[in-house]
Amino acid sequence: MKQDWGESRLPQWYNEHLKFAPQEIAAYLRRLDLRSGDVLADFGCGNGELLRHAAPLVAYALGVDVSPEQAALARKAVSGMANAGVLQSSFLECTLPDRVFSKGSARKSLHHLTDAEKPIFFKRIGLRFASGALFLIEDAVFDFPKKDLDAQWPRIQREAAAFYGARWHGMEKVFENTLRAEFPSDFDTLSSALAEGGFRVIKHEHPACFYGVVLAQKG
Ligand SMILES: C[S@@+](CC[C@H](N)C(=O)[O-])C[C@H]1O[C@@H](n2cnc3c(N)ncnc32)[C@H](O)[C@@H]1O
């Protein structure tokens, strides 16, 4: 079953159980090396916590999210910040405001696009990013070929239990659904999708075999 964030209770479940904690946000943002002149877009901004932390560090921060509920929370998170905005739109249909973006982020959101849709997304938004711009992705990204998912399942479950710790029990079903019914990519497929937008991977880490942190730069 595909999990539809546009019209479901998933955003509320996610915000309660897998909250993006302030110390995690700080560590995540360090990878983007934010500067005062930066124009940042956060795709799948969720409740806007990242935007709230990033906006004071950059010239402009935009969040994009398809869920009306999440977009409303994100607007609330940055209310009073003149240099932040939220666009309620799907990734494939979003029309970014007329700015040149220097930093991009997509945390736990791109697995909602199929492997066929990801290159279309990067091609569309890549046009709006400056040469040298950085794009950071943290998401379900396999360090093995996606076709080997079943064979890798015992290893995935072992690593997931260690990765999520105390949170693991109670989220096994959502986890399995995300990996099997949503659209995580393997690293090579994600790299090819990024290349469609002119981005080249310059760094990647896999804290677990099913999870990746990928930093790309626009040529
Ligand atoms: C798992 S949450 C991650 C939120 C936040 N980035 C974080 O790290 O906590 C995924 C977010 O992506 C949004 N999303 C899912 N599919 C989307 C799509 N096709 N277009 C735009 N946003 C989407 C959801 O509404 C949700 O807020």
Q: Which of 65, 69, 139, 183 to mutate to test the pocket of ligand 1 (most atoms within 8 A of CB)?
A: 65
From residue 131, alpha-carbon distances to 59, 150, 186, 216 in Å are: 18, 39, 26, 12
- Residue 127: Cβ within 10 Å count: 10
Q: Ligand 1 mean position to 147 CA, how many Å?
A: 25
User: pTM of the full predicted structure?
Assistant: 0.93
Query: Strand 211-218's sheet: what is its strand order?
Result: 84-88, 60-65, 39-43, 101-107, 129-139, 211-218, 199-208
Q: Whose CA is nearest to atom 9 of ligand 1?
A: 20
Could you give the CA distance from residue 115 to residue 168 in angstroms, rounded to a whole number? 27
Instruction: Return the C-alpha torsion angle 34, 5, 93, 32, nearest 10.
Output: 10
Instruction: For residue 69, give the ligand 1 atom closest to its CA.
Output: 25
Instruction: For residue 5, give the ligand 1 atom closest to its CA.
Output: 25
* Per-residue tens of pLDDT for the chain, all 219 residues: 345 666 666 667 666 767 788 899 999 999 999 999 999 999 999 999 999 999 999 999 999 999 999 999 999 999 999 999 999 999 999 999 999 999 999 999 999 999 999 999 999 999 999 999 999 999 999 999 999 999 999 999 999 999 999 999 999 999 999 999 999 999 999 999 999 999 999 999 999 999 999 999 999
CATH of domain 10-218: 3.40.50.150
Could you give the CA distance from residue 88 to residue 161 in angstroms, rounded to a whole number? 34
Predicted local confidence at residue 1, as pLDDT: 38
- Residue 171: Cβ within 10 Å count: 15
Q: Whose structure tokens read 């942190």?
A: 213
- Per-domain residue ranges of the chain: 10-218
> Closest by alpha carbon to 215, among 188, 194, 184?
194
Predicted local confidence at residue 15, as pLDDT: 65
What would the two tokens of residue 127 be? 């046009």
